[in-house]
Structure 1
Amino acid sequence: MQAHDTIDFRKQALFLDFDGTLVDFADDPMAVAIRPATFASLRILQDRLDGALAIVSGRRIADLDHFLAPWTFSAAGVHGLELRQAPGSQVRRVARPEDLEPVRIALAAGVATEGRLRLEDKGTALVLHYRGAPELAGSASRLMEDAVAGLDGLKVMAGNNIVEVHPAGMDKGEALAALMASAPFAGRVPIYAGDDTTDEFAFRALARWNGIGIKVGEGQTAATRRLRDVAAVERWLNEEAARQA
């Protein structure tokens, strides 16, 4: 089934994951790049949707802005711990970096003994990366479990070659709900495309608005539609932009 079947962009809001959806993965997370044609399509769709297009990612909003410069979009960063309702508006943060300081210290010590693991500090979230060394998945999970042992109010999530921890109470489903609560998204039907296990929170939340979930890639999912890979997402967005132009 094609992702765009029966979708009316005049009445919907569009939510897009970043890594694995708009860009392919890279061993260096800062080495990814969005293709110019896809970027142009996003700008067209943002205009046609009256601004109701958001990027929903585990990355910080500052990083998303770097990759999408000079254009800005509504965004949920760090799985919703950072929220920007409209382009140019203030970024709201619902957690503090110091909340993770004990975990930060423990993970830094563990990474120092296993050089193939990399610790990414997002301030309000900490991520252990093992891309390029998939055999370290168990080690990364155990290191994270040990680091959060005895600490309350934290949520650990596994993703594509990562294990992440951040304060509990927020995920991509809650981020979607927060954005849908006010303009320019309120009153529209959400379309959400994502590839990762963390996007399943958003797919499950879509039922509140009779929304449409699009799973990118393989694997079990709560989404009702599917696109094969980033290239297929690009074709879909380019086709939709051509229709709206």
Structure 2
Amino acid sequence: MFQTMTMPPTLDPARHALFLDFDGTLVELRDDPQAVAIDAAELDRLVELQSRLSGALAVLSGRRIADLDRFLAPLRFAAAGVHGLERREAAEDDVVHLAGPSILDPVREALRQPLEAEEGLRLEDKGTALVVHYRGRSELKTRATVIVEDAVRGVPDLAVMHGHDIVEIHVAGMDKGRALASFMTHEPFLGRVPVYLGDDTTDEFAFAEVARLGGVGVKVGPGESAASHRLAAVDSVHRWLALEADAGGEAN
């Protein structure tokens, strides 16, 4: 169902854990995924919030953790990349890969010729996931979907997900909701109430898990959602984060 614009509740540093999507939540969507950027002041707020929450801040994204590290440096943070197939469960931990890239080799080969023949479609190979982009070419959505469905046919244990101008293939049994649930089983997240911000259909898995845990889901932007609250756009997210960071400064 569609909710009206409802501001998220104020974060309680002793009680809440904050989970953030990246594209469309912390940064605006771009035709070129490598062209995104986050302002230094916005990054400083994340550093402040991570400290206030005693480290209970994580970024959950379809991107690889290595890409998130590059965009958010020097912040070091807990993260789930490729919808949870890559995991860093605490800021100081190493990245753990839950699947290897070879499982997708048959699909890589099946996608090669159809994508070469279809101008306007682009393949992003994340190793443990393959993403067909049609950003700026919405008329190619159906064609992209057909190409992907043909490529995965007969290959077991794979999932196909649709997001903003993409069709993504990765190993079945993992999504942002399951990744969030895993974070919540250990410190510094254990025993806290999750607050999750995301903008895409892939974030609905996390919203469902947050609701199950009695937490707060915040949909960024328009569209139907299972989230309990809503913010209008990326700039609204950063205004809310600024209020939370400033509240910490006032408390000190």
When the two structures are superposed, what TM-score results if normalisation uses the length of structure 1? 0.98
CA distance in structure 1 between the partners assigned to 2:75 and 2:208 by the alignment: 30
- Which of 196, 212, 219 is residue 215 of structure 1 equivalent to? 219
- The alignment status of 1:236 with 2:251, answered yes or no, reads no
C-alpha deviation, 1:2, in angstroms: 4.3
CA distance in structure 1 between the partners assigned to 2:50 and 2:74 by the alignment: 14
Counterpart of 1:111?
115
The answer on whether the counterparts of 1:180 and 1:186 sit within 8 Å (CA) in structure 2 is yes
The answer on whether the counterparts of 1:160 and 1:196 sit within 8 Å (CA) in structure 2 is yes
SS in 2 for 1:108: helix
- The alignment status of 1:64 with 2:68, answered yes or no, reads yes
Letter in 1 for 2:82: V
Counterpart of 1:144?
148
**CA deviations over 1:125-184 (Å, ceiling 9, x no partner):** 000000011110000000000000111100000000000000001000001011111111
CA distance in structure 1 between the partners assigned to 2:166 and 2:241 by the alignment: 27
Aligned-pair Cα RMSD in Å: 1.0
Counterpart of 2:177?
173
CA distance in structure 1 between the partners assigned to 2:7 and 2:191 by the alignment: 21
- Which of 98, 113, 132 is residue 102 of structure 2 equivalent to? 98
Which residues in structure 2 correspond to 1:1-80 (within 5 Å)? 1-80=5-84
CA distance in structure 2 between the partners assigned to 1:66 and 1:135 by the alignment: 32
The answer for unaligned runs of 5 or more in structure 2 is: none
The answer for unaligned runs of 5 or more in structure 1 is: none
C-alpha deviation, 1:228, in angstroms: 0.2
SS in 2 for 1:146: helix
The answer on whether the counterparts of 1:215 and 1:223 sit within 8 Å (CA) in structure 2 is yes
- The alignment status of 1:186 with 2:221, answered yes or no, reads no
C-alpha deviation, 1:36, in angstroms: 1.7
CA distance in structure 2 between the partners assigned to 1:108 and 1:73 by the alignment: 35
SS in 2 for 1:233: helix
SS in 2 for 1:190: strand
The answer on whether the counterparts of 2:130 and 2:169 sit within 8 Å (CA) in structure 1 is yes
SS in 1 for 2:58: strand
CA distance in structure 2 between the partners assigned to 1:161 and 1:9 by the alignment: 36
C-alpha deviation, 1:31, in angstroms: 0.4
Counterpart of 1:157?
161
CA distance in structure 2 between the partners assigned to 1:4 and 1:37 by the alignment: 21
When the two structures are superposed, what TM-score results if normalisation uses the length of structure 2? 0.95
Q: Percent identity?
A: 58
- The alignment status of 1:126 with 2:130, answered yes or no, reads yes
SS in 1 for 2:115: helix
